Structures are given as structure tokens and as C-alpha cells.
Homo-oligomer: A and B are copies of this chain.
Amino acid sequence: MSEVNRRIVLAARPHGAPKETDFRLVESPVPTAGEGQVLCRTIYLSIDPYMRGRMNEEPSYAAPVGIGQPMVGGTVGQVVNSGLPGYAPGDFVLGHGGWQDYWVADGGALRRLDPATAPISTALGMLGMPGLTAYTGLLEIGRPLPGETLVVAAAAGAVGAVVGQIARIKGCRAVGVAGTPPKCDYVVNELGFDACIDHRAPDFRRALRAACPDGIDIYFENVGGAVFEAVLELLNDFARVPVCGLIAQYNATEPPPGPNLVPKLMRRVLVKRLTVRGFIVFDFHDREPDFLRDVGGWLREGRIKYKEDVVAGLKNAPKALIGLLQGRNFGKLLVRVADDPTR
């Protein structure tokens, strides 16, 4: 056990894309767990798009990270010592420890993990927040019907990959959008989507149209920007647009130039009777048991697959987040902070 707790804190609020100098690694004493608390050592840190929003001053649906405070994040770790009945050293847990080696948690902030059921890292991906986001956004808002066409961007990413695979299980045609030809190949050949279009290809709009011969009934929005504009042309009457993220615009410092397309969007909403609905995974927390049963089951049955992009070393977390915002990861992005004893 190392004697210091390395933490990565927010050094400066980024203007536009974050830089490595917006973060700082500091060392502090390892905290101790009081009564009713558990001290955990981080094994995996999840890197997710929402973290960019936390670096801004203005509050979003959650408070910003303060300057000098550790970056927030979901973590999988192992109990070091416990003042809480039911938790023993060596237990694996999911928590919200942030970008650091050690964290202290109350029992309510932990979920126990059984490495015999699924790899512990999946609690940050397929069986964690990204998976629950995909499951609830698709099923509660997208409401897929057999024979419908779903489109999801960042289709090789943590959320998009799950969205498309569940849509297939529900009988939909699943069309992905991704940022490189190898990602598109993976989405079709490994994940089983019906098609996947490279949004960087010059004929993107035409290719998307060709991949959706019956139009689009559900667009699971997690990127925004040009993909949304292309999709809008193809949405069918009564299409649903769950809005879970807008990664393409998180680094923007000012609105894009005109014309202002809000009137066009609203006219499309009216004429096509679209439902555009934002959601955040916490809104559907009560669906977590169903989610774990369904997605856990599909995973064990081999009906859905996942891919992890694991970066070694806490110190590389800033670079990992910077790359995520540029679409450089391939699969669910994790930082391995300490060795995973289950592998």
C-alpha cells in the first residue's frame, strides 16, 4: 500500500478544449475510514464525457468541480479497511471515488461487485452508468418497436455500443455512426449493427440516407452537431430523440455561425410530430434492478459484447479525457490506477 494518496485536481478552468495544464497531480495523506465508513483503493477510474461539463464554472445538472478539488468520477476499487459492517478488506466495490488512489465512502455510496459474475471493470461500462444510460434512454424514451430504425452516434463508445445492441435485441434495424473505418468495422462485424457510417467521410449524409431506407424512428442523441443535422432530415413521423449527451459541442466556446437553425428544427418537430427529450441517468435510478437483470443476462448469454480502452496510470487520466473529447478512444475508456487482482 502506497503511503500517499495521489489526486488529480482541477488546476484551471479550460477555455475550449482542456489542456494537460488544466489539471495538476497532488499528493496528500491516505485518508482514514471512520465509523460507518470504508476506505477503498482505486483500481479503475472511468473517464466519461460528462466530466468536461464539471470543469466549467456554470452549474449544469450537477455542481462544478472547484479549482484545487479532485476531479470527480466513477471508480471500481477494493476495500482496504472498513468501519462498516458487511464490508471487509479485499471486497470489490463500485463507488464515486474520483481521480485519486484512495477514497472514503459511506455504505450508501457503494455497490458490492462479485468478480465471479462479471469482470469488475464492467461496473463502469456495460453494467454501470453508461449501460444504464443506454438502457433507460432507449427503452423509456426511445420506446423501440420491432421493425423500426434506430441511429446512434459514437457507436463504438460506452453508451452507443449498448444502445445499438439492445435495439437489435428489440427487433430494430440499428445503424451506427462512428469516427474511423476500424470503428465502423467493429460496430458491424463484432457488435452486429446493421450498418455503421463514418461521420468523417465526405459522403456522410448520402451514406446515412442509404443506410436508413425507411427513415429513422429513433435517434439516440449523444453527440450533437453535424450528425444531428444530418439525422434531422431523415426522421420519420412520430420519431423519438432521447438526448443523453452532446459531446461534439462540449468544447465549444461560442455558438457556431449562422444561420440560426432553431426555427427549422422547431418546424421539423411540429410537422413530423417529433419527441425530443433530454434525460440524465439519475432520473431513472429506479430502473437499475431491471437493467442489471436484463443487461447482465444478455451479457452472460453472449448476446451483447463490449470493448474496453484501458489507459495505464492515474497520471494519464487528463490525456485520456482530452482524447475522449476528440473521439480518440475505441471502446469504454478506463484508467487502470492499480493492478486488477482478478485478471
Interface residues of A (CB under 8 A from B): 60-61, 221, 224-225, 228-229, 237, 243-246, 249, 252, 254-267, 269-280, 283
Contacts and interface: CB of A to CB of B under 8 A. Distances in A.
B61 A271 contact: yes
A274 B278 CA distance: 5
Nearest to A276: B276
Given A243-B269, A258-B258, A225 B263 contact: yes
A275 B277 contact: yes
A261 B260 contact: yes
A267 to B, nearest CB: 6
A246 B262 contact: no
A221 B258 CA distance: 23
B277 A283 contact: no
B258 A269 contact: no
Q: What are the 6 A-B residue pairs with the smallest beta carbon separation, nearest first?
A: A258-B258, A255-B259, A270-B278, A269-B278, A275-B277, A276-B276
A239 to B, nearest CB: 10
Given A260-B261, A261-B260, A277 B274 contact: yes
B266 A255 contact: no
Given A277-B273, A278-B269, A256 B245 contact: no
A262 B261 contact: yes
B224 A263 contact: yes
Given A61-B271, A273-B279, A274-B277, A259 B261 contact: no
Given A261-B255, A263-B256, A277 B276 contact: yes
Given A271-B60, A273-B279, A277-B275, A266 B254 contact: no
Contacts of A252: 263
B249 A267 contact: yes
A269 B277 contact: yes
A275 B279 CA distance: 9
A246 B263 contact: yes
A126 B27 CA distance: 70
Given A243-B269, A274-B278, A276-B276, A260 B257 contact: yes
